[in-house]
């Protein structure tokens, strides 16, 4: 079941295209990574889904229904530019946001208590927002995004401003929310978080979608059948086809492109040159795939 479906989305700011004919399907219950270089069109897409701006043309549907004002409450949005009321106290601020999203006063109080306890920050309840550090305010902003149990959570750079310990806490909360059935759309430039969290990714570049699919499939399609080899005790010169060999710590390291050969045949051949310490397929990281895709589109 697809919770979010985007079809033929176009958006221009004057002559500048921000989205060109973008289609996206977000399966229910997944963590969906929306990737792309600066200025690609990610924020524009997120703002359209959040009904902050309108598309020039195209459709967005939530659970099979065309996007409408009633869907605002089913979406939690953590924007890149955070917006808290500096003069308000933490507890007041969270109560305000929860009630704004339709929770009763009683339910809102319960949720504020739950989240402050969960993130172990109950002591902050009477602190003024202006007295919080950037990372502390970021936690409050995160709570304000999830406090009404939205079906869809859209997080724009959720880890920025957090130290590694707090980034880990937020990462675990995101995974927990996914376990409970929340669908998460995550826009980030931190590729290691994408590798850790996302089931699906889509990449936008220069307003066009250039890549889309389950992470394992995207990685599979980017494989180049190249193996990384480490040999020790090499007792005869290596043939020219093993180019780029580097000697370090008593070992020789190089990459081999396998072509149509079977890995076992290459392994047997390598054993004739020395002791095989390591022989493993090079699986591209999401970061490498991202850089490759951006480079490809520079030549188009
Ligand atoms: N309000 C605006 N007025 C004019 N042009 C805009 C406006 N907002 C965005 N753009 C342009 O639209 C394009 C897409 O911008 P967008 O903010 O959606 O990119 P992004 O992928 O979110 O980038 P980043 O990763 O830097 O946040 C860019 O060329 C940008 O300059």
How many angstroms is it from 72 CA to the middle of ligand 1?
A: 22
Q: Is the CB of 40 under 6 A from ligand 1?
A: yes
With beta carbons less than 8 A apart as the criterion, state whether 149 and 178 touch.
no
Looking at the predicted structure, is the pLDDT value of residue 215 above 80?
Answer: yes
Output the residue whose Cα is nearest ligand 1's atom 29. 39
Output the residue whose Cα is nearest ligand 1's atom 5. 13
- Probe residue for ligand 1, chosen from 16, 36, 55, 80 as the CB with the greatest number of ligand atoms within 8 Å: 16
- Probe residue for ligand 1, chosen from 17, 43, 160, 210 as the CB with the greatest number of ligand atoms within 8 Å: 43
> From the alpha carbon of 80, which atom of ligand 1 is closest?
27
Distance separating alpha carbons of residues 210 and 254, to the nearest angstrom:
31
Length of the chain: 300
Output the residue whose Cα is nearest ligand 1's atom 24. 38
* Per-residue pLDDT reduced to its tens digit, 58-103: 999 999 999 999 898 899 999 877 778 888 899 999 999 999 888 9
> Whole-number mean pLDDT of the chain?
90
Report pLDDT for 300: 61
CA distances in angstroms from 106 to 94, 98, 118, listed in the order given: 13, 10, 18
How many angstroms is it from 25 CA to the middle of ligand 1?
A: 22
How many angstroms is it from 43 CA to the middle of ligand 1?
A: 7
Output the residue whose Cα is nearest ligand 1's atom 14. 41
* Per-residue pLDDT reduced to its tens digit, 19-37: 999 999 999 999 999 999 8
pTM (predicted TM-score): 0.87
* Per-residue pLDDT reduced to its tens digit, 102-141: 899 999 999 999 999 999 899 888 899 889 888 888 999 9
How many angstroms is it from 14 CA to the middle of ligand 1?
A: 12
Crossing angle of helices 90-100 and 134-146, in 10° steps, is: 30
229 in the Ramachandran plot: left (φ > 0), alpha (ψ -120 to 50) or beta? Answer: beta
Q: Are strands 31-35 and 200-205 parallel, antiparallel or unpaired?
A: parallel
Q: Is the CB of 36 under 6 A from ligand 1?
A: yes
Q: Is the CB of 187 under 6 A from ligand 1?
A: no
* Per-residue pLDDT reduced to its tens digit, 161-194: 889 999 999 999 999 999 999 999 999 888 888 8
Mean pLDDT calculated for residue range 271-278: 91
**pLDDT band (50, 70, 90) for residue 248:** confident
**pLDDT band (50, 70, 90) for residue 299:** low
* Higher-pLDDT residue of 148, 250: 148
Report pLDDT for 218: 92
* Higher-pLDDT residue of 224, 107: 107
Q: Is the CB of 81 under 6 A from ligand 1?
A: no
Look at the block and give the residue holding tokens 């889904």: 49
> From the alpha carbon of 189, which atom of ligand 1 is closest?
25
CA distances in angstroms from 40 to 22, 34, 45, 162, listed in the order given: 12, 11, 10, 24
- Probe residue for ligand 1, chosen from 42, 48, 56, 297 as the CB with the greatest number of ligand atoms within 8 Å: 42
Q: What is the DSSP string of 33-72?
A: EEE--TTSSHHHHHHHHTTSS--SEEEEEETTEE--GGGG
Report pLDDT for 249: 80
* Higher-pLDDT residue of 68, 248: 68
């Amino acid at each position: 079941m697809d919770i979010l479906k985007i079809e033929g989305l176009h958006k221009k700011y004057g002559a500048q295209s921000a989205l060109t004919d973008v289609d996206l399907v977000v399966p229910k219950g997944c963590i969906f990574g929306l990737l792309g270089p600066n200025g690609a069109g990610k924020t524009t897409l997120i703002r359209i889904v959040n009904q902050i701006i309108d598309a020039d043309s195209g459709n967005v549907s939530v659970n099979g229904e065309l996007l409408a004002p009633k869907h605002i409450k089913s979406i939690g949005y953590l924007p890149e530019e955070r917006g808290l009321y500096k003069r308000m106290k933490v507890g007041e601020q969270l109560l305000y946001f929860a009630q704004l999203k339709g929770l009763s006063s009683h339910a809102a109080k319960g949720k504020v208590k739950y989240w402050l306890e969960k993130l172990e920050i109950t002591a902050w309840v009477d602190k003024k927002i202006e007295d919080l550090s950037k990372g502390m305010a970021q936690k409050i902003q995160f709570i304000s995004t999830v406090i009404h149990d939205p079906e869809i959570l859209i997080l724009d750079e959720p880890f920025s401003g957090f130290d590694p310990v707090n980034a880990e806490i937020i990462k675990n909360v995101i995974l927990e929310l996914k376990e409970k059935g929340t669908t998460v759309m995550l826009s980030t430039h931190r590729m290691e978080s994408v590798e850790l969290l996302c089931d699906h990714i889509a990449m936008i570049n220069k307003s066009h979608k250039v890549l889309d699919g389950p992470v394992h499939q995207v990685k599979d399609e980017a494989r180049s059948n190249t193996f990384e080899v480490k040999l020790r005790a090499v007792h005869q010169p290596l043939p020219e086809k093993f180019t780029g060999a580097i000697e370090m710590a008593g070992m020789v390291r190089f990459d081999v492109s396998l072509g149509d050969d079977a890995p076992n045949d290459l392994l047997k051949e390598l054993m004739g040159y020395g002791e095989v310490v390591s022989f493993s397929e090079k699986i591209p990281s999401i970061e490498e795939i991202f850089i490759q895709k951006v480079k490809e589109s520079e030549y188009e």
